Amino acid sequence: MDNLKKYNILLLDDEVEFANSLLKTLQIYFNNAYFSTTIKEAWKTLDDEKVDLIMSDIHLKKENGLDFITQVQERYKSIPVIMISGFDNKDFLMRSIKLQVVDYILKPFNLEDLEKALQRSLEHLQPTQKSIYKIRDEVYFDTGKKVIFEYKKEIALTAKEYLFLKLLFSKDELLFTREMIEEAVYPEETMSNAALKNLLFRIRKKLGKDFIVTVPELGYKFIPLASS
C-alpha cells in the first residue's frame, strides 16, 4: 500500500469519534488525509486542496452523502469514491452501484476491509495512460497525477487549478473567454470576479505571471513557454 503515499484523501463523516480513529489510520497510508463533518466543509476542501480519493458516509445528520457524491462526479469525474455506511440498506447499495463507486463498506469495518477498498481505489488512481504536457524547459503538467513538475519537484494543484490547466491544454484555442473558463472550472456554480481573479493569481504564482495574459474585454491568452 506504499503506492498510496503520493495521494491525498478526503473523509466526510459526522461521527467524530469514529472519523478521528479512521483518520489516524488513513494518515498512515496517504500523503494527506483531510476530514470534513459537513458537505459544505467537504466542498471547501475540494476547492482548496488537491484531493485524489473521497471516502464518504451516506448518513450525515442533516445531509445525504450520496447526493454529495452525485454532485462530485458531475464536477470531478476522475475522483474515485468509497462509500461507507452504518446501515445495511439495499437501496443505498443499488444507488452506490449506479454511481460506480469504487467500494461500499459497512461500519464497523476492520483493517482488512479498509485495505481491500483502498487497493481497489489504487487501481483507479493509477491511470494506464498518462498525458504530460510541457510548459517550458523542465516544467510539465501531468494530467494523470494532477500536478505540476518543476525541475523534478512536484507542485500540487487544487481541483479548480487542475480543471483550469486541463482546459488550456485540451483545446487548440488562442483565446479563452470568461464563459469558457466558467463552464470548465465552475460547471455547477456562478464564477464571481473575485473567484476568477484569485484562481488566475494562484496559477500565475505557480507558473509565472506571463503564463496567462489578460486581453481586455475579450478574455485570457494562454502563452505556452515550452521551447521548440
Q: What is the pTM of this model?
A: 0.60
Q: Which domains does the chain have, with CATH numbers?
A: 2-125 (3.40.50.2300), 132-222 (1.10.10.10)
Is residue 199 over pLDDT 90? yes
CB-based contact 138:182 (threshold 8 Å): no
Band of residue 1 on the pLDDT scale cut at 50, 70, 90 = low
Interval 142-164: pLDDT, tens: 887 788 988 878 899 999 999 99
Is residue 228 over pLDDT 50? no
CA distance 65 to 228: 48
Residue given cell 523542465 in the structure block: 138
Q: Residue 134: what pLDDT?
A: 83
Mean pLDDT, rounded, of the chain:
86
